């Protein structure tokens, strides 16, 4: 099979690591190079959390008139998709396998016997690439045309169809294992969700793309959350590989073979996680390269293109790697942000166009939670929701001193909640605190996946 590491030396994995390095260097260089062209074509955005033109020009002369190039995710996505395409020969031919009889078959590219060609695996790979490209197009169209929610929500659902078909062809699992304490109620331990499981996986693609896009608005937040999720997925994949290591410590050599994947007994499992790594490593490179320009003070904005393509990359590996439930565990901050946002997304509480935090008084270096203001007293259901969320500490309400009606509430996002709980802080610090939350989320995810699973499930 194509994505095994031949002889467990994983030459393809090393090639992928090399591609990741190319991704990093190309993104780092192309973003500042092509940024001005984007601004020229009016693909630019105003940094809403910077105070004045002088401040911006000190940051970079590129930022004339407060604007930074927007939709830079297009460059990231293009580099990523190009590299994944260039990687195909490394995966599906013997290009990396030492030639026993060099010259006999001509170029190594031709050395794949036609009857042995792994069509099935190639279709998995190509359908994943198709999904990524659809997400990139959708993101870019959203950047240019600001598509309405009701139109853009179903597109990732449709884009995931080829992938779901491939999952079906691979006899993908549609079962969920019930925790021990629920088994007594249902009488059996495994439930086959059938078509519902496919619905869940296609919803996953919509969730992953949009959840990154709505946890946005401060410098570096989109790229850093994508980076931490990609690193967590890659780390989880590494746990399944039979890795060899040796460590030199003051002349003593410790060595061994770490065989977690093999211990779990399945070569298929190792291959799935290898494939997931091939998708994650270049993404990590792209995110680091982009963060170099998107970090506070940002000289480039990711736009919806970045959020959509990165989100889709996660959904894709979750589906083709058959670990969609573990994947969701790495989205704990995004799930919280989505659930908290629901009242605003579904119109129960008014939703302004931008919900990102706001600048404070002119002498303050900090940013503050942004608010939704009520000209008229809010309706009963809005009052109930906001009072409940304020009781939990997720939003802060301002009430009329006499009548006690709600005058304003901080917008329902994770960023504003962090500011409500921890107090005003600088934009850079808020990004760092959110990154810490994302890392903590991943640690909890690993704890649940590998620690707590034993309490709820057998073996």
Binding residues for ligand UD1, rule: CB under 6 A, are: 45-49, 70, 213-214, 216-219, 298, 301, 304, 341, 354-356
CB of 148 to Mg ion, least distance (A): 14
Residue showing tokens 């008014």: 350
Question: What crossing angle do the helices spanning 73-86 and 119-145 adopt, rounded to 10°?
Answer: 170
Of 132, 330, 134, 77, nearest to 225 by C-alpha is: 330
- Per residue, the 3-state secondary structure of the chain, as one string, reads CCCCCHHHCCHHHHHHHHHHHHHHHHHHHHHHHHHHHHHHCCCEEECCCCCCHHHHHHHCCCCHHHEEECCCHHHHHHHHHHHHHHCHHHHHCCCCCCCCCCECCECHHHHCCHHHCCHHHHHHHHHHHHHHHHHHHHHHHHHHHCCCHHHHCHHHHHHCHHHHHHHHHCCCCCEEECCHHHHHHHCCCEEECCHHHHHHHHHHHHHHHHHHHCCCCCCCHHHHHHHHHHHHHHHHHHCCCCEEEEEEECCEEEEEEECHHHHCCCHHHHHHHHHHHHHHHHHHHHHHHHHHHHCCCCCCCCHHHHHHHHHHHHHHHHHHCCCHHHHHHCCHHHHHHHHHHHHHHCCCCCCCCCCCCEECCCCCCCEECCEEECCCCCCHHHHHHHHHHHHCCCCCEEECCCCCCEEEEECCCHHHHHHHHHCCECHHHHHHHHHHHHHHHHHHHHHHHHHHHHHHCCC
Q: Binds 41, which of Mg ion, ligand UD1, none (CB < 5 to 8 A, cut-off by type)? A: none
Instruction: Check residue 70 for interaction with Mg ion (CB under 5 A).
Output: no
Instruction: Check residue 237 for interaction with Mg ion (CB under 5 A).
Output: no
How many other C-beta atoms are found inside a 10 Å radius of the C-beta of residue 63? 25
Q: For residue 314, count CB atoms less than 10 angstroms from its CB and return exposed for 0-12, middle for 13-18, buried for 19 or more.
A: buried
277-316 mask for Mg ion (x: CB under 5 A)? ---------------------------x------------
245-284 mask for Mg ion (x: CB under 5 A)? ----------------------------------------
Instruction: Check residue 219 for interaction with Mg ion (CB under 5 A).
Output: no
Choose the binding region for Mg ion from 208-216, 345-353, 384-392, 446-454 (rule: CB under 5 A): 208-216
Binding-site size, Mg ion (CB under 5 A)? 2
Q: Binds 417, which of ligand UD1, Mg ion, none (CB < 5 to 8 A, cut-off by type)? A: none
Q: Binds 272, which of Mg ion, ligand UD1, none (CB < 5 to 8 A, cut-off by type)? A: none
Q: Which CB sits closer to ligand UD1, 278 or 331?
A: 331
CB of 67 to ligand UD1, least distance (A): 8
Q: Which CB sits closer to ligand UD1, 341 or 417?
A: 341
Q: Binds 92, which of Mg ion, ligand UD1, none (CB < 5 to 8 A, cut-off by type)? A: none
Q: Binds 298, which of ligand UD1, Mg ion, none (CB < 5 to 8 A, cut-off by type)? A: ligand UD1
CB of 42 to Mg ion, least distance (A): 17
Q: Which CB sits closer to ligand UD1, 213 or 371?
A: 213
Cβ-closest position to ligand UD1: 45
Q: Binds 214, which of Mg ion, ligand UD1, none (CB < 5 to 8 A, cut-off by type)? A: ligand UD1
Q: Binds 218, which of Mg ion, ligand UD1, none (CB < 5 to 8 A, cut-off by type)? A: ligand UD1
CB of 210 to ligand UD1, least distance (A): 9
Q: Which of residues 158-177 bind Mg ion (CB under 5 A)?
A: none
Q: Binds 267, which of Mg ion, ligand UD1, none (CB < 5 to 8 A, cut-off by type)? A: none
CB of 158 to ligand UD1, least distance (A): 20
Q: Which CB sits closer to ligand UD1, 205 or 213?
A: 213
Residue 371 in contact with residue 248, Cβ under 8 Å?
A: no
CB of 413 to ligand UD1, least distance (A): 6
Q: Which CB sits closer to Mg ion, 74 or 234?
A: 74
Q: Binds 45, which of ligand UD1, Mg ion, none (CB < 5 to 8 A, cut-off by type)? A: ligand UD1
Binding site for Mg ion (CB under 5 A): 213, 304
């Amino acid at each position: 099979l194509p994505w095994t590491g031949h002889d467990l030396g994983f030459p393809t994995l090393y090639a992928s690591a090399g591609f990741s390095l190319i991704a990093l260097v190309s993104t780092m260089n192309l973003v500042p190079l092509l940024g001005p062209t984007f601004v020229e074509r009016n693909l630019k955005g105003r940094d809403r959390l910077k105070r004045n033109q002088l401040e911006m020009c000190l940051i970079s002369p590129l930022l004339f008139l407060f604007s930074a190039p927007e939709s830079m995710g297009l460059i990231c996505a293009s580099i990523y998709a190009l590299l994944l395409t260039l990687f195909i020969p490394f995966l599906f031919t013997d290009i990396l396998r030492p030639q026993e009889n060099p010259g006999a078959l001509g170029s190594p590219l031709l050395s794949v016997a036609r009857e042995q060609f792994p069509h099935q695996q190639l279709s998995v790979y190509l359908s994943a690439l198709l999904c990524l490209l659809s997400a990139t197009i959708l993101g870019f169209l959203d950047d240019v045309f600001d598509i309405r929610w009701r139109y853009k929500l179903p597109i990732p659902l449709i884009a995931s169809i080829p992938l779901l078909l491939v999952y079906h062809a691979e006899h993908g699992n549609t079962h969920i294992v019930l925790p021990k304490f629920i088994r007594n109620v249902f009488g059996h331990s495994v439930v086959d969700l059938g078509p519902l499981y496919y619905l869940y996986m296609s919803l996953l693609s919509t969730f992953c793309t949009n959840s990154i896009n709505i946890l946005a608005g401060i410098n570096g937040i989109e790229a850093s959350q994508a980076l931490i999720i990609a690193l967590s997925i890659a780390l989880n994949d590494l746990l399944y590989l039979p890795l060899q290591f040796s460590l030199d410590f003051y002349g003593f050599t410790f060595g061994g073979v770490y065989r977690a994947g093999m211990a779990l007994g399945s070569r298929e499992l190792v291959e799935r996680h290898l494939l997931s790594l091939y998708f994650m490593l270049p993404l990590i490179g792209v995110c680091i390269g982009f963060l170099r320009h998107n970090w506070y003070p940002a000289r480039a904005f990711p736009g919806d293109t970045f959020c959509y393509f990165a989100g889709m990359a996660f959904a894709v590996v979750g589906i083709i790697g058959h670990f969609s439930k573990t994947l969701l565990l790495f989205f704990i901050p995004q799930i919280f942000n989505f659930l908290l946002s629901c009242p605003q997304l579904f119109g129960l509480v008014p939703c302004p166009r931008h919900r990102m935090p706001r600048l404070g008084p002119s002498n303050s270096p900090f940013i503050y939670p942004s608010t939704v203001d009520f000209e008229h007293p809010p309706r009963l259901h809005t009052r109930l929701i906001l009072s409940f969320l304020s009781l939990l500490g997720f939003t802060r309400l301002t009430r009329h001193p006499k009548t006690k009606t709600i005058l304003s509430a901080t917008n329902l996002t994770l960023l504003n909640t962090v500011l409500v709980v921890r107090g005003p802080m600088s934009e850079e610090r808020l990004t760092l605190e959110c990154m810490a939350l994302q890392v903590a989320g991943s640690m909890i995810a690993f704890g649940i996946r590998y620690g707590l699973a034993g309490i709820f499930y057998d073996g």
